[in-house]
Structure 1
Amino acid sequence: MLVNNTIILELKATEAIVPEFEHQLINYLRGTDKEVGLLLNFGLKPEFRRKIFENSRKKLKY
């Protein structure tokens, strides 16, 4: 989900955040011009992760 054309929002409802969820969010950031992503989990204990991937670190696409 894209919020205000600025932040990628990934929503989950599982027992806990697993590394694969975080890797997927990073892949979304790499594949777009967005730099900030939020992973929100509404499972047993709500939790979140914020990921930042600066555009300056991304490879240029031609």
Structure 2
Amino acid sequence: MIFKYEDITKKIIGASFEVHKFLGSGFQEVIYQRALAYEFYQAGLTFAREIEQHIYYKNLPEPIGTRRADFV
């Protein structure tokens, strides 16, 4: 499969598999977030955590809500 950002995509997928392989399942989300942040750092990826994003709908000038992205 060919991705527009193939190198970054491979690093993200690899980091995700590494975390799952090591931790398995059953932990709280924050545990996986911290482990994934560590793997991203080790892979040389630049990222931000817990970024609030405004949600817009059609032509409404004001956001209808917000969400918090785990990683950006």
Note whether the superposition's TM-score is higher than 0.5: no
Q: Which has the larger radius of gyration?
A: 2
Q: RCO higher in 1 or 2 (8 Å CA, sep ≥ 6)?
A: 1
Q: Greater share of helix residues, 1 or 2?
A: 2
The structure that is strand-richer by fraction is 1
TM-score normalised by length of structure 1: 0.38
